[in-house]
């Protein structure tokens, strides 16, 4: 489970991209994160695949929408997302690493999942085979149980926020 990271450029529609400033590939954020590609656009922000040049690994970078000047309430929600998410450790939950700011850009970093969103899979295929649907539902149930054990509620569980890796794990 994740906030909005994952999938590929098809998750970000052309219409939604035209309304937002997209960080071009090669952009260096906070002197550390080199943008590789846009992964998705969500209600709160945009998610990029980036290379952490300090640790030499790929992560996802979630950036608050730059065209909306973040107010105190939005920044508080953004920070709370990090604090709450860090309480949950489970193999089916994307791990949040850090929160930061680069000028007017507010961001957080998280594990990059090499896969696609469940929404993309459903749009492409129409439906899942029963065994595949049960496996994904089991993964999600385990992830939610781990979150609930820490008194964390996801609040935005939907196919666009479920990432499925190449092995079919959610």
β 96-102/105-111 pair status: antiparallel
Question: What was the pLDDT predicted at 70?
Answer: 65
C-alpha of 78 from chain center: 13
pLDDT at 78: 67
The answer to whether 71 and 31 are in contact (CB under 8 A) is no
pLDDT for 67 equals 62
- Residues (pLDDT < 70) of the chain are 1-20, 66-70, 78
Catalytic residue ranges: 156
Q: What is the pLDDT of residue 84?
A: 77
Q: Tell me what pLDDT residue 68 has.
A: 59
Q: Nearest to residue 40, comparing CAs of 24, 22, 26?
A: 22
């Amino acid at each position: 489970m994740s906030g909005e990271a994952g999938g590929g450029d098809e998750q970000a529609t052309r219409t939604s991209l035209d309304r937002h400033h997209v960080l071009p590939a090669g952009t260096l954020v906070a002197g550390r994160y080199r943008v590789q590609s846009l992964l998705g656009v969500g209600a709160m922000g945009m998610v990029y695949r980036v290379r952490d040049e300090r640790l030499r690994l790929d992560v996802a970078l979630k950036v608050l929408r730059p065209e909306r000047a973040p107010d105190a309430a939005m920044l508080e929600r953004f920070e709370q997302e990090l604090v709450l998410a860090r309480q949950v450790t489970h193999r089916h939950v994307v791990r949040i690493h850090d929160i930061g700011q680069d000028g007017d850009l507010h961001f957080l970093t998280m594990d990059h999942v090499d896969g696609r969103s469940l929404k993309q899979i459903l749009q492409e295929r129409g439906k899942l085979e029963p065994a595949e649907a049960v496996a994904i539902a089991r993964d999600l149930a385990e992830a939610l149980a781990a979150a609930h054990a820490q008194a964390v509620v996801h609040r935005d569980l939907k196919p666009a926020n479920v990432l499925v890796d190449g092995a079919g794990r959610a």
